[in-house]
Amino acid sequence: MLLSYSHVCSMNVKLFRVIFFTLMVPLCMLFCLQSHAQTKNPFWQHKYDSTLGMNRPLFIGFSYMRIGYKTNGHPFFLTDSLLACTLSYNKTIYRNLPVQLDIHQPALVTNDGSNNLISLITEQVDSLQIAGRYFFPVIQVVDGRAVNELMELVERGPITLYKRHRKVLQKPSGPDANVLPAFKDRPEWLVKSATGWNWIETEKQLLQLAPAQSEEIKSLIRKNRWSFRKNPDQLIRSVVHYINSTL
């Protein structure tokens, strides 16, 4: 049976419509879904904002991995537990923020609210107040040693004194070789004066901060029986405070 020309054309038009709608409808749906995915969902955006609130800019940093679980002691400042602090971070102040200050790696660590530990970026820390101590970022190269960490501000004045709280992981040797390695305190002191930045590692370097007063300072050290070997913290704090009081 032969079909007329008009009948054939009608069939072709119907076939074209079927093919057109079969292909175009899924393509349009895909385009709409993609456009929707690229647009912020108001519900989830509100949920995100209300959950993190003002702390949202805080959770910018690096994933933190603790070193030394199987050790004697811990790598943190003062305690192995979270401490409430007042942190100024990227010009925003956070009060009663739980943190840990790792003084072995070093790192300032906080929890993002989902049990994920984050090491905050030192360059974005303006100041940290924790356990009555004040810490500030020190980013310098001093005597060829690069420094990029938070240090305690001990004394501010013509000579500004910083204490670098630091722990080292000491591995046992000899008869105690099977004992777990232990964290030991190894603090360091750094001063900033008119002549620049300097480490204070000896009593001689301490006296060089005020050469004209060296004899007076030596007499003061003898009188108070201060010892760099036995208690460097006491000696350095006391001498720097004395020098600042005379300038």
- ∠86-46-121 over CA atoms, to 5°? 35
86 and 29 share one domain: no
Q: pLDDT band for position 179 (50/70/90)?
A: confident
14 and 117 share one domain: no
163 and 77 share one domain: yes
With beta carbons less than 8 A apart as the criterion, state whether 89 and 120 touch. Answer: yes
Residue 118 falls inside a structural domain: yes
**Which residue did the predictor score with more confidence, 91 or 127?**
127
β-strands 133-142, 125-130 pairing: antiparallel
CA distances from 101 to 8, 16, 27, 118, 215 (A): 82, 70, 54, 12, 39
Domain range for 27 is: 7-39
131 and 189 share one domain: yes
Residue 237 falls inside a structural domain: no
Residue 189 falls inside a structural domain: yes
84 and 22 share one domain: no
With beta carbons less than 8 A apart as the criterion, state whether 107 and 167 touch. Answer: no
5 membership: H or E segment, kind and range: helix 5-37
Rounded mean pLDDT of 185-189?
96
β-strands 117-120, 61-63 pairing: antiparallel
Q: What is the pLDDT of residue 191?
A: 97
25 and 140 share one domain: no
110: left (phi over 0), alpha (psi -120 to 50) or beta: beta
Domain end (from 199, 224, 240): 199
**End-to-end Cα, the chain, rounded Å:** 118
Residue 116 falls inside a structural domain: yes
pLDDT in tens, 129-154: 999 999 999 999 999 999 999 999 99
32 and 79 share one domain: no
pLDDT in tens, 53-109: 445 556 667 788 887 668 888 999 999 899 999 999 888 899 999 999 999 989 999
Q: pLDDT band for position 29 (50/70/90)?
A: very low
Residue 222 falls inside a structural domain: no
Tell me how far apart the alpha carbons of residues 30 and 39 are, in angstroms, rounded to a whole number: 14
Residue 44 falls inside a structural domain: no
Structure tokens at 91: 């010009």
Domain end (from 199, 216, 242): 199
Q: pLDDT band for position 176 (50/70/90)?
A: low
Domain end (from 166, 182, 199): 199
